[in-house]
A and B are shown apart, each in its own frame.
Chain A
Amino acid sequence: MNVRILNRCRTKYNSRDIKMFTLIKRELIDNIALLLLAAIVPAIIITIVIKGVLEGVAYLPIGIPVIMVRILWPYLLCGAFVAAGCGAAQMNDDSQRKLSTFLSVLATTRGRIFIARTVLGVMLILIMFVPLVVTDVVLLKIFARPVPLDMNFLIRSFATILATFVCCYAIGLQVGWRSSKLMAILFGVALSAALILVVAIKGFGVESIIILVLFTVASLIWTWHKFLSLPL
């Protein structure tokens, strides 16, 4: 008896997982161009980092190659704009092609559609973020440093960059539900520029991260609520 109940539960969860996977797969295939764009950004930045390091390594007093620090800002700017643009494009595509209108009458919920969309967003952010971290860590391992490495600085920088990407993506989703795709993307990028100012003022650190996390949570809650209640 218990085994039968367990099997029924397992089937139920498997079926739910499969449906979620179908939604994520759909997002992935539909937004393959965005994923490619997200991969191109780190590729360019990494090329610059490696080129800079190969030309001669100059270290900061905290044991980090100068090029790695110099590259943080361009990486943050490019990544943030790409994240915001992708979020806005994803949401705008839905509104223009009435994807959710079609999907939400099938055996799924708006909540799941939104979760599948954000899963793609997370993948997009990781595609941009992970290569930077990996490259930096590998380079730091390869090249001997004259002074001890300040890991704390590196972690704070990476955490700030990640928080900025996530926040800009969330802002992109929030502003994406507009009639014009171009306007949605531009609006998302403009708001991202304002968010980047927070990092410029507060620097790479805990204060910036807290502000960005608060913005992200507020933005995601707003978008979630809007998406769940909006006429499709």
Chain B
Amino acid sequence: MERGVIEVRDLVKYYGGRCILDGVDFEVPTGCIYGLLGRNGAGKTTIIRILMGLETATRGRTFLLGENSRRLEPRQKSRVGYVAEAHQLIQNYKVARLVALCKGLSRRWNDKFFKQLMDTFRLPMERKVKELSGGMRAQLNLALAMAIEPEVLILDDPTLGLDTVARRQFLALAIDLIQRDGRTILFSSHILSDVERIAERIGILVAGKLVVDCSLDELKNRIKKLRVIFPQDAPTDLHMTEIIRQSNSGREMVITVANWNQQKKAMIETFKPASCDEIPMSLEEIFIECTHPEPMPDQI
């Protein structure tokens, strides 16, 4: 079997005795756009930093393009584009100097494409990076990452801190660039609508554990939110596995279940409900259901 372009195997990371990643295991196949989701501090950036060789793992291994990411050679790195969280570029360099540095260190540099991007973004080459707005820095970072024509693109919350207009502009262009060449992409974000627009496969991190790792369609099929109305009060003795959330209110029961199947459906039908309707869920709603630490006070 062909190995994934990005592989994370049993990844564990401790910071000062606190467990940040607890046995994370996933794979991104060639050409796949993988959206990594999680709340603040869930460990998304840590995974990406370990993948990029900026951080060491306490246990486990990560592979990029089939090589251990701790020991990536420049040859392999030249095939990976990286847009860091908060766009950590060299702040006191002029844009032109930063571009020259990246160009000088790259093995492939598509000058024509880069110029096109710079024209589109209208980035001033003579201004210092620190004088650019957050949106401009994001665009510069994306342009630098794309100019090397990477086979793998790693985007760590690239729209963080951007206003709505800048975020939309950035994403529109990113989607266009990403879809053009069928690249493998690992994309982490807080903004789930962004991920939903781009990602084919989703990973959801909760407190350092990967609780979801499947395709977006599969996720939507597997996690169901149902509104069940019973002839009398909703039963409190519904013992079903993999209930993510359940709330009862008089005759109504709203239940979110993982791995929805015929057996679970049959189990609900034994209580003879008057109606059982599926409530459509967006990725954002699924994410909230999966990552909410504990049931709301009014819920069971």
Of residues 98 through 112 on chain B, the ones whose CB sits less than 8 Å from some CB of chain A are 101-102, 104-107
With a CB–CB cut-off of 8 A, which chain A residues contact B92?
Answer: 97
Question: How many residues of chain B have a CB within 8 Å of chain A?
Answer: 26
Binding site for A on B (CB under 8 A): 49, 52-56, 73-75, 77-78, 80, 82, 84, 88-92, 101-102, 104-107, 148
Is residue A22 contacting chain B, with contact meaning CB distance below 8 A? yes
Q: What is the bound-complex CA distance between A49 and B52, given in angstroms?
A: 53
Name B78's closest neighbour in chain A (CB-CB).
A107
Name B105's closest neighbour in chain A (CB-CB).
A106
Is residue A226 contacting chain B, with contact meaning CB distance below 8 A? no
Question: 3 closest A-B pairs (Cβ-Cβ)?
Answer: A22-B104, A107-B78, A107-B74
Q: Is chain A's interface secondary structure helix, strand, loop, or mixed overall?
A: helix
Q: What is the bound-complex CA distance between A90 and B83, given in angstroms?
A: 26
Q: What is the bound-complex CA distance between A55 and B82, given in angstroms?
A: 64
**A19, A98, A99, A106 interface centre (most CB from chain B within 10 Å):** A106
Q: What is the bound-complex CA distance between A18 and B56, given in angstroms?
A: 29
Binding site for B on A (CB under 8 A): 15-16, 18-19, 22-23, 25-26, 97-99, 101-109, 112, 229, 231-232
**Could you jot down 22 A-B contacts, CB within 8 Å?**
A16-B74, A18-B104, A22-B104, A22-B105, A23-B105, A26-B101, A97-B90, A98-B88, A101-B54, A101-B84, A102-B88, A103-B105, A105-B82, A106-B77, A107-B74, A107-B106, A107-B107, A108-B74, A108-B105, A109-B73, A231-B55, A232-B55
Q: Which of A18, A101, A107 contacts B77 (CB 8 A)?
A: A107
B91 & A97 in contact (Cβ 8 Å cutoff): yes
With a CB–CB cut-off of 8 A, which chain B residues contact A107?
Answer: 74-75, 77-78, 105-107, 148
Q: Which of B49, B55, B102 contacts A106 (CB 8 A)?
A: B102
With a CB–CB cut-off of 8 A, which chain B residues contact A99?
Answer: 90
